[in-house]
Structure 1
Amino acid sequence: FPASRFTGFDYHVDSIKAAQRNAEKAQVADRVSFQVTGAQDFEGEDFDLICVFNALHEWGDAVGAASRIREALAPDGLWMFTEPLADPYPQESVRGRTFFSVSTCVCTPSALSQDGHESLGAQAGEAELRRVAHAAGFTRFRRAAETPMFMVLEAS
């Protein structure tokens, strides 16, 4: 997509440095850039598409981040994000037990260590994710696809 421009955001400096090196190595640095920033304060506006991969549940202020995403989208823009596919009875599946274990030890403490007032954890589920999107001002929300491990959701 040589006519497109892409911007990556992350608060982890070393990840951004590695991404910049990879863009230069792939000779796409003229249209791919990266910024060290958090989910609530990234720069830019009129994005056609904002993608978030397996991260919303690890942010301390999911509604605040989703609100910033909505503000940054173009009027007809789309937010696509992936989140773990929650099991209604996690104790009955390896996937459920694994996600809840990781959530307890990694995701929830990550969210709680940040500014904000809520922690979704890795097993928020579609209803809670819909609530976050609607609280952020999105009026349209749907599960666009799923894999055996993740939901692909979109909001606009």
Structure 2
Amino acid sequence: MTTSSVEAAVTVEASQAEVEAFVGQVMGDTSAWIVTTMAMIGDQLGLWRALADSRPTTSAELAEQTDTAERYVREWLSSMAAHGYLTFDPATERFTLPPAHVPVLGIESPTFFGGFHHALYGLSSMLKPVVEAFQHGGGVHLSSYPDDWWRGFERFSSGWFHYLLPQVWLPAMPEVNAALSRGADVADIGCGRGKALIRLAEEYPAGRYIGFDVHEESITAARASAEAAGVADRVRFECRDVSAGIPGDYDVITTFDVIHDATDPQGILREVRAALRPEGRYVCLDVNASHRLQDNTGPLGAYFYGVSVLFCLTTSLAQNGVGLGTCGFNEHTARQMCLEAGFGTVRRVDIANPFNILYDITA
């Protein structure tokens, strides 16, 4: 089709108003990418932390406080103010991070996005190899991802384990909570840098904990974190692909945002089932998505599918995996796969979380 025939088709099939409306949407989405990129830079340079006291500041004052170049800081502040992340007083030329924005951008809290932005900062460097995977097939291996991705995701998920795991999630699973309180043998599959197990070991010191992950660098970091937290006497970490078998047997096995990423998710579920004691429980946190695309529309669904392309899907395909993708272990699929793996009951825990579903699963 020639350029002129394409233009004619557009004229026939879409009104100018429809075209302009979509231009507005794309402009807004493009602006959001720029704003998010600026937010990522703010996290990297400590600008948000410096603004967290909500005191009005000038660009020169913020630059001096953060040891950055004033002209860049002034432009960054202007971008953030233009989008409403900051307020600006033209009389004093001072910028303020409103108090309601502080727990989102300035300090760690249940609503903190700084770790998320840190992870995206690392993920943005992976565009070229992902594009090459589009062209040639295969995927991008875990070892290719930069430390910023791993450290950012650790900071992001730390909010789950610090603010939600002991206070909200475990009380909603009384049998699991009771087992941990008595002193359980616990395994965390896909443990990453170990934050979940370290938090459990702090909250339930009578337990015995081991974490497994295929990413050697994360295991090294997890061991160091356990030492720093003073729980290395009861928390161990091992680099292992558990789809080939989980050593030992356990009262509680956990996976936090892991199964949808896995090379062999069904194999992992079978091994988890085999490693659980008769009265054991499997605690599974995964993505809150539907098995139907039409139910996943909107900003959150678009984010899920995009991160899938950039990490979840491609890292599975890189290892000749099934490539479930971010939305692939939805509730419908999770129930089917757990049944096939031989589990008893699968209960969705009521946690009212737009990002994740928590399951309490019996052996």
Query: Normalized against structure 1, the TM-score is what?
Result: 0.90
**AA at the equivalent of 1:121:** G
Contact 1:145 1:153 in 2 (8 A): no
Match of 1:16 among 196, 211, 219: 219
Task: Tell me how far apart the structure 1 counterparts of residues 232 and 354 of structure 2 sit (CA, whole Å).
Answer: 34
**AA at the equivalent of 1:95:** L
User: In percent, how many aligned pairs have the same letter?
Assistant: 33
Q: Which residue of 1 aligns with 2:237?
A: 34
Contact 2:213 2:238 in 1 (8 A): yes
Cα deviation, 1:102-149, whole Å, max 9, x if unaligned, reads 112321112222254x22211122111111111111121121134121
**AA at the equivalent of 1:102:** V
Match of 1:78 among 259, 264, 281: 281
Once the two structures are overlaid, the 10-residue window that deviates more, 42-51 or 21-30, is: 42-51
| Aligned pairs for 1:1-156 within 5 A | 1-87=204-290, 88-91=294-297, 93-116=298-321, 118-124=322-328, 125-146=330-351, 147-156=353-362
**AA at the equivalent of 1:81:** C
TM-aligned CA deviation for residue 42 of structure 1: 5.0
TM-aligned CA deviation for residue 45 of structure 1: 2.5
Q: Secondary structure at the match of 1:129?
A: helix
Aligned pairs, number: 154
Contact 1:58 1:111 in 2 (8 A): yes
Query: Normalized against structure 2, the TM-score is what?
Result: 0.41
Of structures 1 and 2, the one with the larger relative CO (CA 8 A, separation 6+) is 1
Task: Tell me how far apart the structure 1 counterparts of residues 246 and 334 of structure 2 sit (CA, whole Å).
Answer: 24
**AA at the equivalent of 1:136:** A
TM-aligned CA deviation for residue 46 of structure 1: 2.4
Q: Which residue of 1 aligns with 2:141?
A: none
Task: Tell me how far apart the structure 2 counterparts of residues 2 and 84 of structure 1 sit (CA, whole Å).
Answer: 29
Q: Which has the larger radius of gyration?
A: 2
Contact 2:250 2:275 in 1 (8 A): yes
Q: Secondary structure at the match of 1:3?
A: coil
Contact 2:246 2:272 in 1 (8 A): no
The structure that is helix-richer by fraction is 2
TM-aligned CA deviation for residue 101 of structure 1: 1.1
**AA at the equivalent of 2:296:** P
Contact 1:51 1:81 in 2 (8 A): yes
**AA at the equivalent of 2:323:** S
- After superposing on structure 2, the runs of 4+ consecutive aligned residues of structure 1 that deviate more than 2 Å are 41-46, 87-91, 113-116
Cα deviation, 1:49-88, whole Å, max 9, x if unaligned, reads 1110111011121111100001111111111111111155
Task: Tell me how far apart the structure 2 counterparts of residues 25 and 128 of structure 1 sit (CA, whole Å).
Answer: 39
Q: Secondary structure at the match of 1:40?
A: helix
Q: Secondary structure at the match of 2:267?
A: helix
Contact 1:82 1:150 in 2 (8 A): yes
Task: Tell me how far apart the structure 2 counterparts of residues 113 and 55 of structure 1 sit (CA, whole Å).
Answer: 16
**AA at the equivalent of 1:83:** D
Contact 1:4 1:31 in 2 (8 A): yes
Q: Secondary structure at the match of 1:30?
A: coil
Provide the alpha-carbon RMSD of the alignment: 1.6
